[in-house]
Structure 1
């Protein structure tokens, strides 16, 4: 009887793991659609919005560091930065330490536009999180960090070979 119970538990665990993976795929699609809609409202391509987010979170960055973080070719990054700079989202400046180097710095004046576009999702997330206690939120945050790390590792593996 123990083997039958173990087999049932293994099947249930596989089903639950599959459900988590399917939910993450659904989440990816929904966030991509949300980002696409936000980008359209502020006149940014999806990739521009991704790069702007990276600069806002990790900047100032050199164009090559930004290209590496975004997984893009440096020549592609030039066009993206041209659009972001024309739109008043970023500025390219000489690095103070190395005047030959350029860094990309976000212009925070326009962040309010993005925050307004994401306000609905942020409010819904606050409502969802309110239904969890601190320990559950720590578990969820840890899980999502580990999933993001796994995504980076898988991306790096694909890029390497």
Structure 2
């Protein structure tokens, strides 16, 4: 175990505060997303998968399942619900060698439903960002990008653990 010098204690406290704030942010965004998903009559997991498609799509069902950390059988149920509700399409790529290959795409037809419920949060985030300089926003952006990558790596590490 390494000892922490008195000079290192303030930094450790600052890092602990940041980690605590990230946990609180994660919790609050989860609660917010649950509210938005309820407003558009989606299960939270369905909303999460739709968001992943909007960020990274179109994707194969297996790639989406991997992104979402879901079992492929669970993903089939999610995709069935999203397709029935008009949120996604499942199409066969014309150039696919395997006739069973499917690509999932968000239709965008109902994006207005989601954006209407996100508008308040987007306005609040604009207000928050207005309080920072461009240089500070660059640092915040870098921090969030690197934190996202750390979370992705940690998720992959946990997924690779044998139970």
| TM-score, with length taken from structure 1 | 0.93
Which of 13, 16, 21 is the equivalent residue of 1:15?
A: 13
**Bigger helix fraction:** 1
What residue number does 2:66 align with?
68
CA distance in 2, matches of 1:44, 1:100: 27
What residue number does 2:124 align with?
124
1:107-157 C-alpha deviation (Å, 9 max, x unpaired): 111111111111111100000001111110010000001111000100000
Shift of 1:7: 3.2
1:67-112 C-alpha deviation (Å, 9 max, x unpaired): 0111111000000001101111001111121143111111111111
* Divergent runs of 4+, >3 A: none
CA distance in 1, matches of 2:48, 2:149: 17
| TM-score, with length taken from structure 2 | 0.92
What residue number does 1:30 align with?
28
Q: Secondary structure at the match of 1:8?
A: coil
Shift of 1:45: 1.0
Superposed CA RMSD in Å reads 1.1
Structure 1: state its 5+ residue gaps: 1-5
